[in-house]
Structure 1
Amino acid sequence: MAVTVVFLGPLRDLAREPERQVDAPLDWERLLAMVGPEIAGQLRDDRVNVACAGRVLSDKMQLNAQDGDEVALLPPVSGG
């Protein structure tokens, strides 16, 4: 019974891994606790989105990932 948390872009560099398996269920507070303070600080930024089961959450603090879900952490897109 697990949720896969996927780190994308610079969050992958901070996590030093592309993904991590965590026990289900996973809510916002548990997500912040399991990623550590540096990434949690990034996730609190309004420009960082969270997707669960393929859908970007309009309110990431309502995260409720269940067994088999993938949670993607989406940093802001930059470019020229």
Structure 2
Amino acid sequence: EKYYMKKFDLLLVDVNMPKMHGYELIRQIRKENLYGFVPVIVISTESGKNDYLEAFRVEANLYLEKPVDPIYLQLSAKMLTGMR
């Protein structure tokens, strides 16, 4: 819902969410392309090979397993948004 209210530089998406599956959310965001290309990092407890593959099928930029190292997340976010 918040994605439709304003533009974001980066989206952090969990696979298991209450209203919509994370992969479906990414699919819709990529299809609608409201604000141009927005990088997406999937963060999840799911760790199967198919989870990684599905994330990249829906055009996520990165898949991280929980618990995520905060420094690695910060560096990944900076890389994907072009920040220093």
Output the TM-score relative to the length of structure 1.
Answer: 0.28
Which is richer in helix?
2
For the pair shown, which has the larger CA radius of gyration, 1 or 2?
Answer: 2
TM-score of the superposition, structure 2-length normalised?
Answer: 0.28
Determine which structure has the larger strand proportion and give its number.
1
